[in-house]
Structures are given as C-alpha cells and as structure tokens.
C-alpha cells in the first residue's frame, strides 16, 4: 500500500524494485484480459464473464504510485531516480496503446523469460540515472520494509497476570 497517509490518493502498486545500479522502478502488473477503447480501460479477470471498467489506466496507476512514493521518500532520502512501467504477464498488446502507454513502458509475456534484460532496457530507455549509493539502498529498503516488533501493551500483560493470579489456588 503506497497511500502514505494521503487519503485522496491512497492506492497500491504491485512491485517496487530498488535497483542499485539505476534507481527505483514502480511496476504495475495487469493480468487477465484487458482492452482499451476511446481512452477507457477495461478488464476481464480470469474466469469472469464480463469486462469491468477501470477507474484509471494501468499507466496512470503506475505513474501515480511512482509520484506518491517519490513524495513519501523525499523528506528522508532527497531526490532519487524513479521510473514506472506496466507489465502484462499473460499477453502482449495488439495495436498501440497511445501516448499514455508507449512501448518502452510495457513489459509483456514475451519479456518474462529474460526479465532482467528487459528491465535493464526499460531503465535505459526511460533515461533513469543512477546508481543509488549503497547506504541509500539500505535506507530506502528500511523505510519501505521496516523491521519492527509489536509487543503486547503493558496494561494487557497486567490484566492477564491478574486474571491468572485470581485462578491460582493457594494451599492452606
């Protein structure tokens, strides 16, 4: 979830790739059957009978997630190189996707067998500069996937202990 506390733009993205040699790539993945017509995007998930209109195109979803994440990280990390792309793992577009979905932002099923090479080309084609310093890779990783412990609250521990003491039978 990349809502980052902004309820008007809360959302999620499928993958955030922190690539030390380049920067950060936000990857939106769309499965099932998709179509676009007159600027609207429609999806028919596997097993469904009907198409359902998407509120935003996959490219807009990826772009929005990229900028939300960039704003979220900026206060702690400064300016970082970012890019976004859309992956269609089950197929490949037949026909162009227009200005919003240029070919260099598309990863399709034929790219999957050599995904690292496709990602490398995508980053080169988007002009993403890097590398990220090693300390920044660790910092971004810690911010996005922190290590934390959620321990019982002392009051709850106290109540549990009191309840156990009430059950204890004392020998005369």
> pLDDT tens per residue, the chain (172 residues)?
444 544 444 567 899 999 999 999 999 999 889 999 888 999 998 888 999 999 999 999 999 999 999 999 999 999 999 999 999 999 998 888 888 889 999 999 999 999 999 999 999 998 887 788 878 999 999 999 998 877 767 766 777 777 787 777 554 5
Q: Point out which residues pair with 139 in neighbouring strands.
A: none
43: left (phi > 0), else alpha (psi -120 to 50), else beta? Answer: beta
CB 43 within 8 A of CB 51: yes
Q: How far apart are CA 10 and CA 100, in angstroms?
A: 21
128: left (phi > 0), else alpha (psi -120 to 50), else beta? Answer: beta
Q: pLDDT at position 7, please?
A: 47
How far from 66 is each of 23, 82, 91, 125, 140, CA to CA, in Å? 12, 7, 24, 17, 14
* Closest-CA residue to 130 (of 16, 25, 13): 25
Q: pLDDT at position 150, please?
A: 78
Q: pLDDT at position 10, please?
A: 53
* Beta carbons within 10 angstroms of residue 58's beta carbon: 25
CA 38 vs. chain centroid, Å, equals: 27
Q: pLDDT at position 96, please?
A: 82
pTM (predicted TM-score)? 0.79
CB 77 within 8 A of CB 98: no
The bridge status of strand 82-88 relative to strand 106-108 is parallel
Greatest extent of the chain over all pairs of C-alpha atoms, in Å: 88
Q: pLDDT at position 100, please?
A: 84
34: left (phi > 0), else alpha (psi -120 to 50), else beta? Answer: beta
Q: pLDDT at position 158, please?
A: 76
CB 122 within 8 A of CB 102: no
């Amino acid at each position: 979830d990349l809502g980052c506390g902004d309820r008007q733009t809360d959302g999620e993205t499928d993958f955030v790739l922190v690539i030390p040699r380049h920067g950060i790539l936000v990857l939106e993945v769309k499965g099932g059957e998709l179509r676009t017509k007159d600027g609207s995007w429609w999806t028919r998930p596997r097993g469904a009978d009907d198409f359902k209109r998407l509120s935003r195109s996959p490219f807009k979803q990826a772009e929005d997630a990229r900028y939300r994440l960039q704003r979220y990280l900026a206060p702690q990390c400064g300016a970082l190189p970012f890019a976004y792309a859309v992956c269609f793992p089950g197929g490949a577009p037949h026909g162009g996707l227009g200005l919003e979905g240029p070919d260099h932002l598309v990863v399709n099923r034929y790219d999957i067998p050599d995904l690292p090479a496709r990602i490398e080309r995508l980053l080169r084609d988007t002009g993403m500069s890097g590398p990220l310093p090693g300390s920044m890779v660790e910092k971004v990783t810690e911010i996005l996937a922190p290590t934390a412990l959620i321990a019982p609250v002392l009051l709850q521990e106290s109540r549990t202990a009191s309840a156990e003491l009430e059950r204890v039978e004392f020998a005369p």
